[in-house]
Amino acid sequence: MSLITVETTPYTDQKPGTSGLRKKVTHFQQTHYLENFVQAIFDSIGDYKGKTLVVGGDGRFYNLEAIQIILKMAAANGFGKVMVGQNGILSTPAASVLIRKYQSFGGIILSASHNPGGPDEDFGIKYNTANGGPAAEKITDAIYAHSQQIEQYHTLKDSVDIDLTQPGSVTLEGMQIEVINSVSDYAQLMSELFDFDAIKKMFSSGFSLCFDAMHAVTGPYAIEILEHRLGAASGSVINGIPKMDFGGGHPDPNLVHAHELAERMFLDNAPDFGAASDGDGDRNMILGKNIFVTPSDSLAIITANADKIPSYKGKILGVARSMPTSQAADKVAEKLALECYETPTGWKFFGNLMDADKVTLCGEESFGTGSSHIREKDGLWAVLFWLNILAARKQSVQQIVQEHWQEYGRNYYSRHDYEAVDSAAANQLMAILREKVTTLSGTQMGSLTVSYSDDFCYTDPVDQSVSEHQGIRIGFTDGSRMVFRLSGTGTSGATIRIYYEYYETDPDKMSQDTQQALDNIIRLSLEVSQLKELTGRTEPTVIT
């Protein structure tokens, strides 16, 4: 075995998106493709010589092959140690826990999150820094710049694959590789954050739960924490064995893709609580008997009830939500006199706020919720937060949500995705809107008056960095909103996302059908964007 330097030529398409580089597996399998990106990471992150790197992924197809490539390159590039999850498995939140707990230099997470997996599906890679969060734009821009100039990478020649099936430690060209239990450190942290005794008591008195792991990475975490440690009935976790192709499904926890769970929660004998997580374990969906909790409402309810959980009581520094997320959390923040931040989509923007002790809780409409315990969103954490609230309040999910709406008003909310749209048409739609929004303010759209409209531009309150073109916002005087943006995580064509919100304070109008409540604003959005004319689409691909 020997160190070698391999001559290579750049690929021009390695620009990291919302959460790293995401492409089809076949794209990653091109000669030197993954190697180029990994070397570009190493060339962009500063002096890591002798330091520790955390590596793991969501178990999807190509995870193990990619890890073997990264281990050899890390050794050849001079890392001191790599901590890797057993069988290559680490959920995104668990990777964040490890990076922070063991003060490693950073981590590489292999996942395409909620995108399907398999030989013809998606793969992804992203770099997280020492705070445990996705690298800031400054670093991802540097990685992209390096990837376009790369001429060589370093690896090992004739090295055998490392056995990742058992915990233990080996040395590879002077670099230590520690294979660690994927679940222990994460489960330990959860037991410190939440009142496990109270939740255990609730389960032992007959409380029922269904957690859909969607054949993705959270299976082993959920079985260990919910069933083994908290005493949920055996079988409460469904689809709990991670599969390389997620059983052929979309590991995206929403009512469309987690339909097995969704159906179960609306039956007469539904469990008391339902939840699901995504491919890499950072997303969550929360349901009760006969009720779906929107992620935006979930953030608001978590914030309003944080005082029910000893480790959070009196410790909430502030709350942040991504721009398209509904303004339900803002209402709670206002009442509790908490600072509330609106950031661009993607978790990396929350990290700066948390590092500067400005916020404790964060959330996105896309089924992401989390806190400053790590620097990623955290699916099981949200589930445990809810279980802890339920154990403390001794009410049903439905009662808690309805009381919340009575107190704060209801933010009806929905997102319509138009997937695999022709990229040129999608860009044109955005360009036209970008023009239009400069003149809409104060004008009438149908029955509504525009109070503001812009292309969201964010100045980070901590480092003053500016992120432009983060989505078109059109807000109305009655509190309604529509937001347009293009996805940064798709792998074929463009995905147009339109986000709708309508605020209702009349107690008699709190139980309308969501799509009906939003009907007016949906129609207006199609008119103003000329979506049908430009894309030829008459219906969204997915409504969440």
Q: How far is the CB of 5 from ligand VG1 (least distance, A)?
A: 33
282 binds ligand VG1 (CB under 6 A): yes
104 binds ligand VG1 (CB under 6 A): no
**Residues at the interface with Co ion (CB under 5 A):** 113, 278, 280, 282-283
Helix (H, G, I), strand (E, B) or coil at 444: strand
Q: How many CA atoms lie within 13 A of 36 on its CB side?
A: 25
Q: Which stretch binds ligand VG1 (CB under 6 A): 277-285, 391-399, 401-409, 526-534?
A: 277-285
- Measured from the CB atom, the residue of 140 and 487 that comes closer to ligand VG1 is 487
Q: How far is the CB of 24 from ligand VG1 (least distance, A)?
A: 16
**Which residue has tokens 């707990």?**
101
Exactly one of 155, 303, 352, 366 binds ligand VG1 (CB under 6 A); that residue is 366
**Which residue has tokens 């463009």?**
494
**Which residue has tokens 């929360």?**
286
Q: CB within 8 A of 474, min separation 6: which ones?
A: 437, 440, 445, 450, 452, 453, 481, 482, 483, 528
Would you state the torsion angle of the CA atoms of residues 136, 137, 143, 144, taken in this order, to the nearest 10 degrees? Answer: 160
The whole-angstrom separation of Cα 314 and Cα 295 is 23
Q: How far is the CB of 281 from Co ion (least distance, A)?
A: 7
Angle (deg, nearest 10), helices 184-193 and 379-393: 30
Start-to-end CA span in the chain (Å): 52
- Measured from the CB atom, the residue of 134 and 240 that comes closer to ligand VG1 is 134
- Measured from the CB atom, the residue of 218 and 239 that comes closer to ligand VG1 is 218
Q: How far is the CB of 225 from Co ion (least distance, A)?
A: 18
497 binds ligand VG1 (CB under 6 A): yes
- Measured from the CB atom, the residue of 98 and 164 that comes closer to ligand VG1 is 98
Name residue 92's amino acid.
Answer: T
Is 441 a known active-site residue? no
CA-to-CA separations, 291 to 216, 269, 398, in angstroms, rounded: 24, 13, 6
Q: Which stretch binds ligand VG1 (CB under 6 A): 2-10, 62-70, 204-212, 343-351?
A: 343-351
* Helix H or strand E segment including 456: none
**Which residue has tokens 């894309």?**
535
113 binds ligand VG1 (CB under 6 A): yes
The whole-angstrom separation of Cα 450 and Cα 438 is 12
Tell me which residue has its CB nearest to ligand VG1. 113
Query: CB of 362 within 8 A of CB of 369?
Result: yes
Q: How far is the CB of 280 from ligand VG1 (least distance, A)?
A: 6
Mask of contacts with ligand VG1, 286-325, x by CB under 6 A? ------------------------------------x---
- Burial degree of 396 (CB within 10 A; 0-12, 13-18, 19+): middle
The whole-angstrom separation of Cα 413 and Cα 480 is 10
Partners of 291 in the beta sheet?
Answer: 288
Phi, psi dihedrals of residue 476, rounded to the nearest 5°: -115, 160
Segment 189 to 248, residues that bind ligand VG1, using CB under 6 A? none
Exactly one of 121, 185, 227, 278 binds ligand VG1 (CB under 6 A); that residue is 278
18 binds ligand VG1 (CB under 6 A): yes
The footprint of ligand VG1 on this chain (CB under 6 A) covers a number of residues equal to 18
Q: How many CB atoms lie within 10 A of CB 166?
A: 8
Q: How far is the CB of 123 from Co ion (least distance, A)?
A: 14
Q: Which does 298 bind (CB under 5 to 8 A by kind): Co ion, ligand VG1, none?
A: none
Q: Which of 19, 91, 96, 113 is catalytic?
A: 113
- Measured from the CB atom, the residue of 289 and 348 that comes closer to ligand VG1 is 348
Exactly one of 114, 146, 215, 257 binds ligand VG1 (CB under 6 A); that residue is 114
Q: Which does 303 bind (CB under 5 to 8 A by kind): ligand VG1, Co ion, none?
A: none
Please state the three-class secondary structure of 377-399 as a single string: CCHHHHHHHHHHHHHHHCCCHHH
Exactly one of 122, 212, 364, 460 binds ligand VG1 (CB under 6 A); that residue is 364
Name residue 337's amino acid.
Answer: A
Q: How many CB atoms lie within 10 A of CB 262?
A: 19
Q: CB within 8 A of 176, min separation 6: which ones?
A: 80, 81, 82, 169, 170
Q: How far is the CB of 279 from Co ion (least distance, A)?
A: 6
417 binds ligand VG1 (CB under 6 A): no
Q: Which does 371 bind (CB under 5 to 8 A by kind): ligand VG1, Co ion, none?
A: none
Exactly one of 39, 77, 239, 487 binds ligand VG1 (CB under 6 A); that residue is 487
Nearest to 286 by CA among 297, 275, 277, 296: 275
414 binds ligand VG1 (CB under 6 A): no
Q: How far is the CB of 56 from Co ion (least distance, A)?
A: 14
Rg (CA), the chain: 23
413 binds ligand VG1 (CB under 6 A): no
Q: Which stretch binds ligand VG1 (CB under 6 A): 198-206, 301-309, 344-352, 398-406?
A: 344-352
**Which residue has tokens 């996942």?**
111
455 binds ligand VG1 (CB under 6 A): no
Q: How far is the CB of 367 from Co ion (least distance, A)?
A: 8
Exactly one of 292, 341, 347, 499 binds ligand VG1 (CB under 6 A); that residue is 347
Q: CB within 8 A of 249, min separation 6: which ones?
A: 116, 214, 215, 257
Binding residues (CB under 6 A) for ligand VG1: these are: 18-19, 113-114, 278, 282-283, 322, 345-347, 364, 366, 368, 487-489, 497
Active site residues: 113
